[in-house]
Amino acid sequence: MAEPRIAQTAPYAIELEPGTYWWCACGKSGDQPFCDGSHKGSEFTPVKFHLETKTKVWLCGCKHSADQPFCDGSHKEL
């Protein structure tokens, strides 16, 4: 199994409006932490998530979280 590219070794702290989002799982997107289609042709698939209200989230930047798309502190072990 391929390893994702580490986009950054910290979470992305972002306040998002209600809606549906696609989190980049491969680490190659130029629109981090969101998917831009760079995973095409690989074994990676973006993670879809939906927010009902305006919410501050911490999205995983290292791509190793067990709670994708959210940060679980895995970047501290890299």
In a domain, 26, yes or no: yes
- Looking at the domain assignment, is residue 3 inside a domain? no
Number of structural domains in the chain: 1
Per-residue confidence at 1, pLDDT binned at 50, 70, 90? Answer: confident
A 10 A CB-CB count for 45 gives 11
Q: Sorting pLDDT into bands at 50, 70 and 90, what band is 39? A: very high
Q: Is the pLDDT of residue 21 over 80?
A: yes
> What is the average pLDDT across 45-69?
98
5 lies in a domain? no
69 cis-preceded (ω within 30 degrees of 0): yes
Judge whether 2 lies within some domain: no
Q: Which domain holds residue 54?
A: 12-77
pTM: 0.94
Beta strand segments in 1-78, E? 12-16, 19-23, 47-51, 55-59
